[in-house]
Chain A
Amino acid sequence: MKVEIPEELQEILEEFLVEAEEILENLDQDLVDLESNPEDKELLNKIFRGMHTLKGGAGFLNLTPVVEIAHRIEDIFNKLRNDELKLTPEIMDVILEGIDKLKEALQMLKESQELPDMEEIEGLLSQLDAVLKGESPVSSESSTESSSSHSPEVQKEEELEFVEGISDKLKELIKQFPDKDLAGILEEIILMPPDKRPMDVIPEIEKLIEEGKDVKDLIKKKEPSGGEEKKQPPPQRSETPPAATSETARTPAEKTPASKQKTSKKQEKKSSETIRVDVERVENLMNLVGEIVLDRNRILRVTQDVEKECRGEAVEKLVEAVTSLDRTVSDLQVAVMKLRMQPIKKIFSKFPRLVRDLARKLNKKVQLIIEGEDTELDRSILDKLEDPLIHLVRNALDHGIEPPEERIAKGKPEVGTIRLFAYHEGDHIVVGIQDDGRGIDPEKVKKKALEKGLITPEQAAQMSDKEAYELIFLPGFSTADKVSDVSGRGVGMDVVASTIHSLRGSIEIDSEPGKGTTILLKLPLTVAIIRTLMLGCNGQVYAVPLHSVVEIVRYQEEQVKEVGSFRSFMLRDEVLPLFSLNELLEVPDNNQKAFVVIVKVGEKLIAVSIEKLFGEEEIVIKSLGELLSDIPGIAGATIAGDGRVVLILDLNSLLADYKTKLIGVKR
């Protein structure tokens, strides 16, 4: 169904979409909270208000399918908060389905200005209606426009007596909406489809409001359904009334609830003042800062040279100015970096719902504990982190947590626990998933790897437990057949590992059979600027991200041992596999090694010999462009102080071919 939004309403539509998205995003968390705490009145009210606002906005824009769904959900919550309905998991399922449909509809609206057809949502609507009817004793009102929370009798009572001078139409409306004040009735009119809107009543109501009158002043008989006590925040902001009611915006009756709504909104947002900025602008700013950082590095080097070559007052002043510039640029860099940081809450908030749905599907009992959701991460990392995290949490639920009977038999609490957490550690962020399930049995993993022909029996025998856990990240290990119905997307653990590595992060698994598994993802704070080690090989300069470098030692011939076709390097009492950077890069080798860089690849330390070492430098990563986008081992490039391009090496993928041999994969 195509939606036609007139030009003049476009802005309102956009505002509505942003607001609706916010409401729905908060809702997921609220609903899951609600399930564990179904009596929480405050929560029920909050959800009700959210739905009401959503319905209002959608009604104004004539988005019928959205209104129909939101309206029913709102009614359900109205019943819930008035204790007319009890929340059961079945009801929750229907509500969640409704919320999902709303999300889907809004997404469609945003992307293609379309909405699902009414036929499409009919099933859902009747389900929602069933919840409304089935569980509530008397309420037989089928009218879709009534959200009567107050006994249905009020509606049936024909003996409402009105004061004189009121049109029949208005009387009808007051009867139809017994718990609304005049402003509320006005809103309901606005929500009606345009062809059913009783336009002629609007001026009458406005006049009455202006006179300071309300429904209770119009009714002779005292009814408990006076406007005051039932006042709800109006669904609309004052800037949205159509032409006919634009004046109401200025009437006091409308103003009061509107300001009320504002204050409650502010509380929700914890009074943090924010502006929305296009991501592109921030990216652009980031790039510019990157350029300044490079220039600063250049200036620093030149200044050092100048200082060495000549002395004098001017030079001293230059050094002073440059030092200050250095500091400011560093601060600027951090400040801009922070602009791109977003709390990990953005993705963590999706998990309560995910865990709940999955647990129900798998008939497991699980509680999810989220910690450190305010930890901030670079936006681009955050975006890429979602799928791996979903996969890991699914794995924990599917393979880790046992069914309740099994847990009881093992003497564990019936309800399993999954802990999702994030914290800072030095210049890294650690994101972890911990479960108290059955854990990973290293022997089982080895057995499976053997069956799949990924390792040889000898390798299996020599493998430590940690190395065995690493096997699950190998392509071809994931049990796609078993996982598929739950993990859906077919993302294997190997994809999780490669995503994390592409973000220059690392994964650690720790597990104890019977007790549970902890998976830690260590991620850099930012992706745009990294600290690197500049090294030389075959006359070229290369940059290696410092995070993968463990240590640098001088190359000494006597520490090198030939073992079969491999060479190894003796570091203190350890024997490490040794490669020359030249052979990894497939460039000519003149065997003039000066240093050995020890890098960590997975759980293994590997020695890489190099010809020259230039020291540490902070660089801005640039892409090599589409033509060279997938060259193995090259993570990108940067522009050095002298204007030349320096390639950034990804040792992890450079060593990938060798790594498989080292941890024992048969090719």
Chain B
Amino acid sequence: MSEAKGKEKELSVLGVEELIGEVHEKEVQVIAFKLNDELVGVPIEQIIEITNNRDLTPVPKAPSFVIGVMNLRGKIVPVINLKEHLRIPYEIPEDIYQKNKIVILETPKGEVGVIVDEIVGSVKFPESDVLPEPIGTIGIDVKFISGVVQLDGDLLILLNVESIFNQEE
């Protein structure tokens, strides 16, 4: 729990406001961020750090979704283009290697940084609010999604980190 608090603190340092949803029985806390126009979230337990403007080193001959590698406290962490990985439209800005917002996730393949457009904040909601497979059309393949949550007007898509990083290229 104290770790989660630390994370919130870091968020406020980054100038991010905390959005509080309804608070009920078993809660889920996610970090929400934007990918294009979609609001997506990852459970806070799977998030190691949120960071920005890191120097990235491009890796030649790596798969195209790999933007580069970064130094995270002496450890080398790959940073990937999550949009490409999720097969949604993307553009890579010229200054991506210096200006970026990165969420570092704990994945089955180790620590991996993903580039996001905007970090929205931390969201809490009861587990029962999570709806299974979304009906209708959102841009992301359902196999990468563990559910959706309706948050006053916005639809939050919960990403399934395991299935995203377990896929074979």
The answer to whether A626 touches B110 (Cβ under 8 A) is yes
What CA separation (Å) do A644 and B109 show in the bound complex? 22
- Contact pick for B76, options A587, A624, A633, CB 8 Å: A624
Closest-by-CB residue of B relative to A633 is B61
What CA separation (Å) do A291 and B110 show in the bound complex? 21
The answer to whether B61 touches A625 (Cβ under 8 A) is no
What CA separation (Å) do A447 and B70 show in the bound complex? 50
When distances are taken between beta carbons in the complex, the residues of chain B under 8 Å from A625 are 76-78, 109-112
Supposing A637-B69, A639-B71, A645-B70 touch, asked if A627 and B112 sit within 8 A by C-beta, the answer is yes
Closest-by-CB residue of A relative to B62 is A631
**Does A632 interact with chain B (Cβ within 8 Å)?**
yes
Size of interface on B: residues with Cβ below 8 Å to A: 23
When distances are taken between beta carbons in the complex, the residues of chain A under 8 Å from B68 are 645
When distances are taken between beta carbons in the complex, the residues of chain A under 8 Å from B71 are 639, 643-645
**Does A314 interact with chain B (Cβ within 8 Å)?**
no
B160 CB to nearest chain A CB (Å): 17
**Does B57 interact with chain A (Cβ within 8 Å)?**
yes
When distances are taken between beta carbons in the complex, the residues of chain B under 8 Å from A587 are 58, 60
**Does B115 interact with chain A (Cβ within 8 Å)?**
no
- Contact pick for B69, options A632, A633, A645, CB 8 Å: A645
Q: Give a binary string over A574-597; 1 marks a CB under 8 Å from any B CB, 0 the rest.
A: 000000000001110000000000
- Is the contact region of chain A dominated by helix, strand, or loop, or is it mixed? mixed
B41 CB to nearest chain A CB (Å): 22
When distances are taken between beta carbons in the complex, the residues of chain B under 8 Å from A631 are 59, 61-62
Interface residues of B in 54-88 (CB under 8 A from A): 55, 57-62, 66, 68-71, 74-78, 80
What CA separation (Å) do A634 and B60 show in the bound complex? 8
- Contact pick for B74, options A585, A634, A639, CB 8 Å: A639
When distances are taken between beta carbons in the complex, the residues of chain A under 8 Å from B80 are 627
What CA separation (Å) do A231 and B70 show in the bound complex? 68
What CA separation (Å) do A604 and B26 show in the bound complex? 66
The answer to whether A634 touches B76 (Cβ under 8 A) is no
The answer to whether A637 touches B61 (Cβ under 8 A) is no
**Does A183 interact with chain B (Cβ within 8 Å)?**
no
Interface residues of A in 536-575 (CB under 8 A from B): 540
When distances are taken between beta carbons in the complex, the residues of chain A under 8 Å from B62 are 628, 631, 634
What CA separation (Å) do A631 and B74 show in the bound complex? 21
The answer to whether B74 touches A628 (Cβ under 8 A) is no
When distances are taken between beta carbons in the complex, the residues of chain A under 8 Å from B74 are 291, 639
The answer to whether B110 touches A645 (Cβ under 8 A) is no
What CA separation (Å) do A366 and B139 show in the bound complex? 70
When distances are taken between beta carbons in the complex, the residues of chain B under 8 Å from A637 are 57, 69, 76
- Contact pick for B75, options A622, A633, A643, A647, CB 8 Å: A622
B138 CB to nearest chain A CB (Å): 26
What CA separation (Å) do A644 and B70 show in the bound complex? 7
**Does A601 interact with chain B (Cβ within 8 Å)?**
no
When distances are taken between beta carbons in the complex, the residues of chain A under 8 Å from B70 are 645
What CA separation (Å) do A647 and B76 show in the bound complex? 10
When distances are taken between beta carbons in the complex, the residues of chain B under 8 Å from A632 are 61
Closest-by-CB residue of B relative to A644 is B55
B102 CB to nearest chain A CB (Å): 14
What CA separation (Å) do A125 and B58 show in the bound complex? 63
The answer to whether A624 touches B60 (Cβ under 8 A) is no
What CA separation (Å) do A624 and B109 show in the bound complex? 11
What CA separation (Å) do A231 and B152 show in the bound complex? 90
A657 CB to nearest chain B CB (Å): 11
When distances are taken between beta carbons in the complex, the residues of chain A under 8 Å from B77 are 625
**Does A623 interact with chain B (Cβ within 8 Å)?**
yes
When distances are taken between beta carbons in the complex, the residues of chain A under 8 Å from B112 are 625, 627
The answer to whether A586 touches B60 (Cβ under 8 A) is yes
When distances are taken between beta carbons in the complex, the residues of chain A under 8 Å from B109 are 625-627
23 of the cross-chain contacts (CB-CB < 8 Å) are A586-B61, A623-B76, A624-B78, A625-B76, A625-B111, A627-B80, A627-B110, A627-B112, A628-B78, A631-B62, A634-B59, A634-B60, A634-B62, A637-B76, A639-B76, A643-B55, A643-B71, A644-B55, A644-B71, A646-B57, A647-B57, A647-B59, A647-B69
The 5 A-B pairs of least Cβ separation, nearest first, read: A585-B60, A645-B57, A627-B109, A626-B109, A625-B110
